[in-house]
Amino acid sequence: MAIRPTLGPMAALTQPEPGPPAETLLDFPDNRLLIDLCGQFDANLARIEQALDVQILRRGNHLAVMGDTAARSRAADVLSLLYQRLEQGKPVESGDIDGALRMNATPAGDGSDNGNRPEPVKGDGSEIKTRKKLVEPRTDAQRAYVRSLYAHELAFGIGPAGTGKTYLAVAVGVNMFIGGQVDRIILSRPAVEAGERLGFLPGDMKDKVDPYMQPLYDALNDFLPSKQVARLIEEKQIEIAPLAFMRGRTLSNAFVVLDEAQNATAMQMKMFLTRLGQNSRMVVTGDRTQVDLPRGQPSGLADAERLLKGIDKVGFNYFTSRDVVRHPLVARIIEAYEAAGE
């Protein structure tokens, strides 16, 4: 019978000590930009650390990133991309950090960093200049969408809430209006209640429909001074109206946006699309999962998607939960609902 050797009391102390954790050292020559990159009380670094499960330490003009190989590589890409923004004179805000993290995310269904991870996306001319701010797409799908809005006379943006479909469309409309490419902006949406009966609203026609149009006003006020928005609305260079008011019109020399198009009926959608006039751009945005039409009433958005898919000069752009640019929790909420639906 074999006799197993016994270990003395000092044997446990002879195990090799673990070596120092692997790290990636990044050099940032401009200390002022590095301060902005780190954020107040290193809040930006903490956000990246939490998202990627790494540790980031500042050493002079260097940042040391510690963690596993894939996470260190992603963190290095994100930090480099954000530093490039600062070098271009652009700020780094929480939304920019979330966007950089999304652009460098491992593809869905692939748990490893196997070389398929997208490279950091650099400025490609898809930025949108408005009176108040420079609007930048934050995901690849948003960049493709913006390019489609300029390239196609009719473009569709289809995807979940919070992906920037309407916001980017209005930004492009303001940009084209400022540049003289169109004479007016027309923003519309169906006046459909989201599962509630609000009853009769007080006031004149404008007072009654404005609550439904408020998201469009919010987007405009983000891109133009509020006094200018009020003046342009008064002069009819900007129109915000319910979909029902579009019948019988020809919309020429205009940038036209139909928001919440999933709540348009098939007849309303046909009526709206046939309003397109000369030298105009038309954008239709919607979320197929949030239809508020009465049960049994088909959505005009799905109908238009089926009928127009193969027509030239009509662009279809799709978004997923990975393109959500609101609070990061919104993306997880959408994913949970999608999983439950499946």
- pTM score, two decimals? 0.73
Q: Please indicate, yes or no, whether residues 295 and 182 belong to a single structural domain of this protein.
A: yes
Q: Please indicate, yes or no, whether residues 96 and 239 belong to a single structural domain of this protein.
A: no
Digit-coded pLDDT (tens) for 14-56: 455 555 568 888 998 888 898 999 988 889 999 899 889 899 9
The tokens describing 96, both together, are 């920019």
Please give the biggest Cα pair distance in the chain: 102
Q: Please indicate, yes or no, whether residues 335 and 190 belong to a single structural domain of this protein.
A: yes
With beta carbons less than 8 A apart as the criterion, state whether 310 and 151 touch: no
Q: Please indicate, yes or no, whether residues 207 and 302 belong to a single structural domain of this protein.
A: yes
With beta carbons less than 8 A apart as the criterion, state whether 279 and 119 touch: no
With beta carbons less than 8 A apart as the criterion, state whether 176 and 257 touch: no
113 belongs to a structural domain: no
Which of the pair, 43 or 120, is modelled with greater confidence? 43
In whole angstroms, what is the distance from residue 282 CA to residue 315 CA?
A: 11
The tokens describing 170, both together, are 């209005």
Half-sphere exposure of 241 (CA within 13 A, CB side): 15
> CATH code at 160?
3.40.50.300
- What value does the mean pLDDT of the chain take? 81
Q: Give the residue among 221, 213, 57, 51 at the shortest CA–CA distance from 130.
A: 221
The domain boundary, picked from 103, 138, 165, lies at 103
Q: Please indicate, yes or no, whether residues 37 and 89 belong to a single structural domain of this protein.
A: yes
End-to-end CA distance of the chain: 61
- Strand-pairing partners, residue 56, are 65
Q: Please indicate, yes or no, whether residues 276 and 178 belong to a single structural domain of this protein.
A: yes
The domain boundary, picked from 103, 137, 161, lies at 103
227 belongs to a structural domain: yes
The range of the structural domain enclosing residue 80 comes to 21-103
Q: Please indicate, yes or no, whether residues 41 and 166 belong to a single structural domain of this protein.
A: no
243 belongs to a structural domain: yes
120 belongs to a structural domain: no
Q: Give the residue among 182, 157, 336 at the shortest CA–CA distance from 255.
A: 182
Number of folded domains that form the chain: 2
Digit-coded pLDDT (tens) for 48-70: 998 898 999 988 888 999 988 88
Q: Please indicate, yes or no, whether residues 187 and 253 belong to a single structural domain of this protein.
A: yes
Q: Please indicate, yes or no, whether residues 75 and 188 belong to a single structural domain of this protein.
A: no
14 belongs to a structural domain: no
Digit-coded pLDDT (tens) for 238-284: 998 888 888 888 899 999 999 999 999 999 999 999 999 999 999 99
Q: Please indicate, yes or no, whether residues 87 and 195 belong to a single structural domain of this protein.
A: no
**Position of tokens 């348009």?**
264
> CATH code at 49?
3.30.1370.10
With cut-offs at 50, 70 and 90, classify the pLDDT of residue 203.
Answer: low
Cα–Cα distance list, 211 to 55, 108, 174, 180, 221 (Å): 46, 38, 22, 30, 15
Cα–Cα distance list, 138 to 76, 133, 150, 206, 223 (Å): 18, 15, 17, 35, 17
Digit-coded pLDDT (tens) for 99-117: 788 766 544 334 444 333 4
257 belongs to a structural domain: yes
